[in-house]
Amino acid sequence: MPSTLWAAGTDPIDPDDRWPAPIVSRAVTEFCAPGDRVLLVDWPAPARRGPLTVMAPDTAAALTAVDRLDRTARIESGVSGSEGANELVLASLLVLNSDPVAAADRVVELADAQLSEGGLLVVLSRCHHSDDGVLSDPAGAIVAAAQAADLLYLQHIIAAPLHGDTVTGPDAHIAPARHAVAHTDLLLFLRPEPAPAFER
């Protein structure tokens, strides 16, 4: 059971938004300091055309929001050279159209290669229905992948749109009868700093 609830604005959740602005802003201000480096890891990964990365508008908006918070933002593009250089990695599995286990493994692998010692990984996820109607929650796969990469699982946060003390439900025309998206999960992991060497 998550121990923390974040207010995520008042508008109902857009199931196609990979980077909800209230959640991105709060995660950045809570989990890193001004001047820190923040990496956004999208799933599926942004398209590449030669040396250029083609990003979706919501990803571009998230990068701008992080920069406005006085952090250095970039996206995971598969280009080497910045391994272990980010104090915060935000990974989004909110628009998941594939196997959640494979997606979790790949996102954690990318984030792990780019996360500094003492840095934090925050994975945004939510439950989805498969094409055959089975409800799938990627949280277990995310935790397993992160722990296999020796990241410490710190916290599970729920972010939901609120009106006063009431969760804002989805619009009736977009909510399927079987399951309505009412919140976003944030799973928080730490890359521990190595223990100091024991001296005799």
**Radius of gyration for the chain, computed over Cα atoms and rounded to the nearest angstrom:** 17
Closest CA to 159 of 25, 16, 59: 25
CB-count burial class (<10 Å; 0-12, 13-18, 19+) for 2: middle
The pLDDT value recorded for residue 67 is: 96
CB-count burial class (<10 Å; 0-12, 13-18, 19+) for 87: buried
Mean pLDDT score, 168-195: 74
In this predicted structure, the answer to whether residue 170 has a pLDDT above a threshold of 80 is no
Contact in structure between 38 and 82 (CB atoms under 8 Å): no
CA pair distance 143, 153, nearest whole angstrom: 7
Query: Which has more pLDDT, 7 or 46?
Result: 7
Q: What percent of the chain has pLDDT over 70?
A: 78
For 16-60, what is each residue's pLDDT tens digit?
Answer: 889 999 999 999 999 999 999 999 998 766 656 666 667 788 889
Domains, the chain, ordered by start: 4-190 (3.40.50)
